[in-house]
Amino acid sequence: MPVLNASSHDVMRRAIAKIDDAMIMRVVDALQLQGAKLSAVVAVPLRSLQKKRDVGSFAAGAPIDAVSGLLEVLAMDPLEKVIAALGDHAESPNYEQLTSAIASLRGEALTDDEIVAVLAFAIGNEFPAAPHCRQILGEDEALALPEIEVTIGQASLLIPKVVDEAVREQRRQRRDEEKVRKAAQAAKAKVEHHHPKMKSEKKKPVVTTSTSASTHVHVPTTVIRRAVQLTPTEVALYDAGHAMAGSVVTTEVPFDNVDPVVPEQQSKIRPAVVVAASDEGLLVRGIYSNPSPTRSIFSPWRRMGLDHVSYVDVTRSAVRVGAEVNRLGVLTDEEWNALL
């Protein structure tokens, strides 16, 4: 697919596949991933790359957050050189200014691989010069990006049994935490068994059959997941009872309005809550870093691996079939009900 028409995700993946494997592995091997404050969606694929050393598989199959993070590290130093060369035009250069700056650095200060990293990173992060970056990649044969077959995020992700490594890692962490909690409870029970005087001398409640109004009967509370109300049009396209409903994912969420700065950009990668799903795609509510009158606090943001307090919008958006979808986790019934 031509770079001018490719999605930003596709460009970033193809850029990783284009850049020399040796250069990528030098950068990856230098990363200190042990103990780093990274979400499992990013850390697990990078640790796997350090071990398996298969850049092609990483480019085609890693979650897009991991691909974008690696590309940012690759582009960091060369991007500073491009910004310095642009000078006063660095904020929003035109095509001629950008090509001139790159030409002045190419060869001596920047390799073609570093230029590819900078251009793809700018496209993936929707820089004002992103359209010019696409044009440069499309016109220069030495910078041409290879075609790759993406192995993650296709329509098959709508099948709930598909679980990626990041989700497995999150589940493993929860299981380890549960083991620690149970071990602490067992240790406490053992101490109390050998030292009965340490127990509080509370009297057991008296069970009575009296029907007096003062008698209180405790009934366990069962949380029932609320049903989402879909419009007739949404009902015709989506199933609110689909297994993906209630999942938190990252995907390309369409914009509500045209961006005046980059009018050709129609969507952006962001977290979202899946409201309903079907073979037609997903119906989602986007998750944002900034509050607004139409957004409410997204309480499980930390559990889902997000980096900061986030807000979920009331607006529902349709995600097309074939869009890349990375599953971060599933809302509990209480968390789901809080959003409705």
The tens-digit pLDDT sequence of the chain (340 residues) is 677 788 899 999 999 999 999 999 999 999 888 766 778 888 888 989 999 999 999 999 999 999 999 999 999 999 999 999 999 999 899 999 999 999 999 998 999 999 999 999 999 998 999 999 999 999 999 999 999 988 875 433 344 444 556 667 777 777 887 888 887 787 777 766 665 554 444 555 555 444 444 445 555 556 788 888 889 889 999 999 999 999 999 999 988 765 555 566 778 889 999 999 999 899 999 999 888 888 899 999 999 999 888 999 999 999 988 889 999 999 999 899 888 7
The reported pLDDT for the residue numbered 154 is 44
Mention every residue, 6+ apart, whose C-beta is less than 8 A from residue 269: 8, 9, 64, 68, 250, 251, 252, 253
Residue 318 bridge partners (DSSP): 283
The reported pLDDT for the residue numbered 214 is 46
Q: For the chain, what is the largest distance between any 2 Cα atoms, rounded to a whole number of angstroms?
A: 92
Which pTM does this prediction carry?
A: 0.51
The reported pLDDT for the residue numbered 39 is 80
Q: Where do the domains of the chain lie?
A: 8-143, 232-339
> Contact at 8 Å (CB) between 314 and 295?
yes
Looking at 55-199, list the stretches that DSSP marks H as alpha helix, in order from N- to C-terminal side: 55-61, 64-86, 95-105, 112-124, 130-139, 165-194
27/36 Cα distance (integer angstroms):
16
> Contact at 8 Å (CB) between 106 and 140?
no
Alpha-carbon separation of residue 238 from 75, 225, 242, 245, 256 (angstroms): 40, 18, 8, 10, 20
The reported pLDDT for the residue numbered 261 is 57
The reported pLDDT for the residue numbered 155 is 38
Alpha-carbon separation of residue 303 from 10, 44, 132 (angstroms): 28, 16, 38
* DSSP string over 310-332: -EEEEEEEEE-TT---EEEEE--
Q: Which fold has domain 232-339?
A: SH3 type barrels. (2.30.30)
Give the sheet arrangement for strand 326-330, strand by strand: 295-297, 311-319, 281-288, 267-278, 247-254, 326-330
Hey, what are 255's tokens?
Answer: 């914009």
DSSP 159: S
The reported pLDDT for the residue numbered 272 is 95
The reported pLDDT for the residue numbered 67 is 93
